[in-house]
Amino acid sequence: MSFIEVSNITKSFRVSRRSAGIPGMLANMVRPKFEERKAVKDVSFSIEKGEMVGFIGPNGAGKSTTIKMLAGILCPDKGSIVVNGYVPYRQRKAYVAGIGVVFGQKSQLQWDLPVIDSFELLKAIYRIPEEKYRKNLDRFLDMLDMGSFVNQPVRQLSLGQRMRADIVAALLHSPQIVFFDEPTIGVDVLGKETIREFIRELNAQDEVTMLFTTHDMQDIEKTCKRLIIIDKGAKMYDGTLQEIREKYGTSRQLVVEFGEEAVVPPMENVVITDIEDRKKSFVFDNAKVNINELMSHLLSRYNIRDLTVTEPEIESIIQRMYNGEV
């Protein structure tokens, strides 16, 4: 039995469906119509203790719903979840005492009070002994460089500062498992780097098991070895980043800057897109198209100023997975 064991979970919501306009509204009041929308479809995975797993997918893919089920806020319609021996949605109090959850979009801090006051409240809520509280607080404040603003009211903080404070708030009680739901959303580059560094260190030093969702592939590349991709509620991929690169990384992108306006007719196995006025991108599979032939074909027909070949970013691979191309 793994530390986190998710087996065949399915979750659907009833969304009210009504026709437009006032007649539709009235009809809806008399006899509401509901539509089943499947948010998560038959998803299974298991995570070992101390693992750090990135959970990605486009908006509405079912990431947050899955996190909510893992955290015990929602229960699955079908399937089962066991985390650290607990069933999250049944043994609420015992279970949540050992987990931490960060919702990047929803702060748990007291808006009008200094950050430290929210921490004191959490100390009482989680019954954290004084000594442990001091130790954790000092360590996290230092790691996240928060000394300068811990006594400022939350409403005066920048988004990056607030996010760091929210992360500490979720960790004061030394949870064994932490769920991060978009912990870097809206944070600037430097702030993101601080947060990633912190997450990496915490995982390495304390063996905290972590699962986090993000839209920023940099987050994943810099923190997680393992990646779970879901789309339209179903799991599409579960493995390492390395494997993705090896398996799907044979595509290449050729960026060509033309000396004048150029019209390039469609080519077999090559996706052509305009970047700028005189700049086009040619994406193709290295195994199917000979790059030398493609280049000499272009050079012989057009006035070309510049040429660059790049390997695909992990982001574009995932983009293609969402589009069902790979």
Partner 1 sequence: MRVKNDTMHLAGVYTKMIFRSWFQYKVDAILRSLAVFCREATGILVIYFTLTKFDNLNGWNIYELLFLFSLLFVTYGILIIFFTGLRDFGGTVRNGGFDRYILRPRGLLFQLIFSNADWFAAVGHGGLGILLFLLSAGKVGVVWNGITIGYYIVTIIGGVLIQGAVFLFLATLNIYLLETNSIKELFYWNARKFAGYPISIFHKAIQFVMIYVVPFAFINYFPAQFLLRKEDMAQYPEVYMYLTPFVGVGMYLLAYLFWRKSIKHYKSSGN
**Residue (91 or 242) nearer to partner 1, CB:** 91
Q: What would the two tokens of residue 149 be?
A: 């603003």
Q: How far is the CB of 207 from partner 1 (least distance, A)?
A: 22
Applying CB under 8 A, the site for partner 1 has a residue count of: 31
Q: How far is the CB of 239 from partner 1 (least distance, A)?
A: 30
Q: How far is the CB of 101 from partner 1 (least distance, A)?
A: 5
**Residue (167 or 220) nearer to partner 1, CB:** 167
* Residue 25 in the binding site for partner 1 (CB under 8 A): no
3-class DSSP state for residue 273? strand
* Residue 6 in the binding site for partner 1 (CB under 8 A): no
Closest listed residue to residue 214, CA positions, set 225, 227, 204: 227
User: Reading across the β-sheet that carries 99-103, which strands appear in turn?
Assistant: 99-103, 177-181, 209-213, 52-56, 226-231, 234-240
Which residue's entry shows tokens 């409403």? Answer: 155
Q: How far is the CB of 295 from partner 1 (least distance, A)?
A: 53
Q: How far is the CB of 279 from partner 1 (least distance, A)?
A: 44
**Residue (118 or 214) nearer to partner 1, CB:** 118
Q: 235, 229 in Cβ contact below 8 A?
A: yes
Q: 92, 72 in Cβ contact below 8 A?
A: yes
* Residue 31 in the binding site for partner 1 (CB under 8 A): no
How would you write 114-182 as a 3-class SS string?
A: EHHHHHHHHHHHCCCCHHHHHHHHHHHHHHCCCCCCCCCEHHHCCHHHHHHHHHHHCCCCCCCEEEEEC
**Residue (67 or 244) nearer to partner 1, CB:** 67
Q: Which of residues 152-171 bind partner 1 (CB under 8 A)?
A: 153
Q: What would the two tokens of residue 233 be?
A: 């509620």
Q: Which of residues 41-100 bind partner 1 (CB under 8 A)?
A: 68, 71-75, 77, 89, 92-94, 96-97, 99
**Residue (15 or 204) nearer to partner 1, CB:** 15
Closest listed residue to residue 273, CA positions, set 292, 253, 248, 294: 253
Q: How far is the CB of 251 from partner 1 (least distance, A)?
A: 38
* Distance separating the N- and C-terminal Cα atoms of the chain: 32
* Residue 3 in the binding site for partner 1 (CB under 8 A): no
Angle at 162 between CA 169 and CA 62, to 5 degrees: 75
| DSSP, res 245 | H
Q: How far is the CB of 118 from partner 1 (least distance, A)?
A: 8
* Residue 241 in the binding site for partner 1 (CB under 8 A): no
Question: CA dihedral defined by 66, 67, 72, 76, rounded to 10 degrees?
Answer: 0
Angstrom distance (rounded) from CA 119 to CA 121: 5
Q: Which of residues 104-163 bind partner 1 (CB under 8 A)?
A: 106, 108, 110, 112-113, 117, 120-121, 124-127, 153
**Residue (113 or 271) nearer to partner 1, CB:** 113
Q: How far is the CB of 11 from partner 1 (least distance, A)?
A: 9
**Residue (181 or 219) nearer to partner 1, CB:** 181
Q: What residues line the site for partner 1 (CB under 8 A)? A: 13-14, 68, 71-75, 77, 89, 92-94, 96-97, 99, 101, 103, 106, 108, 110, 112-113, 117, 120-121, 124-127, 153
